[in-house]
């Protein structure tokens, strides 16, 4: 679109939310972990991609948050608690490095790491910068809340429904058209009665009568309706102006980065184990129970976060879809199951219709959905060909354009279609991640029971629920 773009903040990527000095510090401190990201993320290797600088920086900030919280917590209790932090401090950063990039939530919504518990999340708004026809300056052109405007002539030479009022009660009008020079013979004015039109010579005609004039260069319009059909309402002018004339006036677009406050909330687990059982397990099997519990609790927190996000998207989705898996008599099972892909495509384009800005590019399915897609198989659905991990995971690609994720925690008949853009700001839902993984100190009292708490802290916010369509498989 032709126009001037005024940016209130130069924020187009996650790097822009962090100062250059802090960015350099984080990247230098966690360099060894960031370099290992590609090797632990099978999904990115499978797709031939590398982590972007923004994703690496998000991971670095998450690691820094955990490191700061560990140091703070253990300084507070070093005089009264066991000083040895066990395997947590030695393994937690490797765990975050391995697990953080594999979160499905990061693939389907915007993940923004918070530098503190109460923080800001960002999203983009594009607003019209000038009045033009039916457009009012300051109104949304493209908003995460309302989608795209229905006005189609903001960049063109056409101007429609530009209003101006009578000078006095005797139905005499004068004013100036805002977009000049006006192309001859293009001006039409609605009066509530018979319209007024430009004859190409500067005269304004209503029927066969001359009722006014227009100056094509200045845009000045004078109309006198006292001798004919009076107009009691404001007049609406539609015309075409010359964009080839220099200097050219064009529609202006203002880009705004808006913020919303989000608070990270805790999600906690407690682990208990007997000293004798832990000792026997280490002696007989070589298994460190603290490390095993750390891995299990970390995986559980990650799976729960993915599940919470997907359930929230499903429950709040603005539109719905259905598909019956009962095979009609005239079709084979495969032919009918391919209709499920058609239904997913319809849900994808429904997002386009609702938002006027995006087409759905991912789908999450339950058991029935993944069974149908596996039955269809290649070339429509290309699975990963790998052993499926526990919990929600990436399952393959549909028609080479939609990523498919399997969520075993969905009801078997549920599916969800949504959109996430290439920019971290371009999503209808945001996770504000503050503390990916944290563990309290190991405590063992006189009862010989080991105790340790695990926590994750993050907040969520729905920005635009019209970017999501929930579905159900019937039959």
Q: 40: domain CATH number?
A: 3.30.1930.10
Domain boundary among 197, 214, 249: 249
Does residue 110 lie in a domain region?
yes
pLDDT of residue 88: 43
Per-residue pLDDT 10s for the chain (475 aa) are: 334 333 344 444 444 556 677 767 776 766 655 654 444 444 444 444 444 455 666 667 666 665 665 565 554 444 434 334 444 444 444 444 444 445 677 788 887 777 777 777 666 677 888 888 878 887 777 665 555 566 677 778 888 888 876 555 566 788 888 888 999 989 988 877 788 888 989 888 888 888 889 999 888 888 887 765 555 567 788 899 998 887 888 888 877 777 777 888 888 887 777 777 777 777 776 777 777 777 777 777 777 888 888 999 999 998 999 999 888 888 888 889 999 999 999 999 998 888 777 788 999 999 999 999 999 988 899 888 777 666 788 889 998 889 999 988 889 999 999 998 766 556 788 888 787 777 776 777 777 777 777 788 888 888 888 889 999 999 8
Considering the domain boundaries, does residue 2 fall inside one?
no
Structural domain boundaries enclosing 244: 156-249
Q: Do 210 and 268 fall into the same domain? A: no
Q: Is 238 found in the same domain as 316?
A: no
Same domain membership, residue 311 and residue 380: yes
Q: Which pLDDT belongs to residue 10? A: 43
CA distance 473 to 347: 13
**460 shares a domain with 332:** yes
For residue 370, what pLDDT is reported?
92
Q: Is residue 24 part of a domain?
A: yes
pTM for the complete prediction?
Answer: 0.59
Of the candidates 249, 273, 290, which is a domain's last residue? Answer: 249
If asked whether residues 235 and 286 sit together in one domain, one would say: no
Token look-up 């937690």 returns 92
For residues 235 and 304, state if they share a domain.
no
Q: Which residues are CB-contacts of 280 (< 8 A; sequence separation ≥ 6)?
A: none
Cβ-Cβ contacts under 8 Å for 278 (sequence gap 6 or more):
289, 290, 450
Q: State the total domains in the chain.
A: 2
Q: How far is it, in rounded angstroms, from Cα 162 to Cα 186?
A: 14
In a domain, 383, yes or no: yes
274 and 393 fall within a common domain: yes
Establish if 307 belongs to a structural domain: yes
CB atoms within 10 A of CB 64: 17
Residues 347, 283 share a domain: yes
In a shared domain, residues 98 and 161: no
Do 301 and 217 share a structural domain?
A: no
Closest CA to 370 of 400, 331, 401, 414: 414
- Residue 254 domain flag: no
Of the candidates 93, 120, 439, 99, the one whose C-alpha atom is nearest the C-alpha of residue 266 is 439
Identify whether 413 is part of a domain: yes
Pair of tokens at residue 413: 């008949």
Identify whether residues 315 and 459 lie together within a single domain. yes
In this prediction, residue 99 carries a pLDDT of 47
Decide: residue 246, CB within 10 A, 0-12 exposed, 13-18 middle, 19+ buried: exposed
101 and 243 share one domain: no
Report the pLDDT value the prediction gives residue 89, as an integer from 0 to 100. Answer: 47
Pick the last residue of a domain from 249, 283, 298. 249
């Amino acid at each position: 679109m032709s126009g001037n773009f005024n940016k209130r903040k130069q924020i187009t990527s996650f790097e822009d939310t962090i100062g250059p000095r802090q960015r350099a510090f984080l990247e230098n401190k966690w360099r060894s972990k960031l370099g290992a990201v590609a090797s632990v993320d099978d999904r990115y290797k499978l797709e031939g991609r590398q982590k972007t600088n923004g994703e690496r920086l998000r991971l670095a900030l998450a690691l820094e948050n955990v490191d700061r919280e560990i140091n703070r917590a253990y300084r507070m209790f070093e005089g009264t608690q066991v000083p040895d932090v066990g395997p947590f401090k030695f393994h937690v950063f490797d765990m975050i490095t391995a697990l953080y990039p594999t979160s499905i939530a990061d693939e389907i919504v915007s993940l923004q790491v918070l530098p503190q518990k109460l923080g800001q999340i960002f999203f983009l708004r594009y607003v019209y910068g000038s009045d033009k026809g039916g457009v009012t300056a300051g109104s949304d052109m493209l908003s995460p809340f309302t989608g795209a405007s229905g006005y189609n002539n903001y960049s063109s030479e056409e101007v429609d429904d530009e209003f101006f009022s009578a000078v006095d009660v005797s139905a005499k009008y004068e004013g100036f058209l805002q977009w000049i020079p006006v192309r001859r013979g293009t001006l039409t004015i609605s009066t509530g009665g018979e319209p007024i039109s430009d004859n190409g010579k500067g005269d304004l005609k209503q029927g066969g009568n001359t009722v006014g004039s227009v100056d094509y260069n200045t845009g000045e319009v004078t109309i006198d309706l006292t001798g004919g059909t009076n107009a009691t309402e404001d007049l609406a002018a539609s015309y075409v102006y010359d964009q080839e004339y220099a200097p050219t006036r064009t529609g202006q677009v203002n880009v705004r980065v808006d913020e919303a406050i989000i608070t990270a909330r805790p999600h906690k687990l407690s682990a208990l184990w007997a000293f004798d059982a832990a000792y026997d397990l280490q002696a007989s099997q070589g298994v460190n129970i603290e490390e095993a519990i750390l891995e299990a609790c970390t995986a559980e927190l990650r799976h729960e976060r993915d599940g919470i996000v997907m359930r929230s998207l499903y429950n709040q989705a603005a539109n719905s879809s259905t598909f019956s898996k009962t095979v009609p008599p005239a079709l084979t099972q495969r032919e009918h199951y391919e209709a499920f892909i058609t239904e997913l495509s319809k849900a994808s384009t429904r997002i386009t219709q609702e938002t006027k800005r995006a087409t759905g590019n991912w789908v999450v399915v339950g058991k029935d959905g993944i069974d149908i897609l596996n039955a269809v198989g290649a070339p429509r659905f290309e699975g990963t060909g790998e052993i499926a991990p526990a919990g929600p995971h990436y399952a393959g690609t549909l028609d080479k354009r939609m990523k498919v994720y399997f969520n075993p925690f969905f009801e078997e008949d549920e599916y969800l279609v949504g959109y996430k853009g290439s920019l971290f700001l371009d999503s209808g839902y945001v996770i504000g991640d503050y503390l990916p993984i944290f563990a309290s100190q190991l405590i063992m009292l006189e009862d010989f029971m080991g105790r340790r708490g695990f926590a994750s802290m993050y907040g969520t916010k729905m920005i635009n629920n019209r970017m999501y369509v929930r579905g159900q498989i019937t039959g």
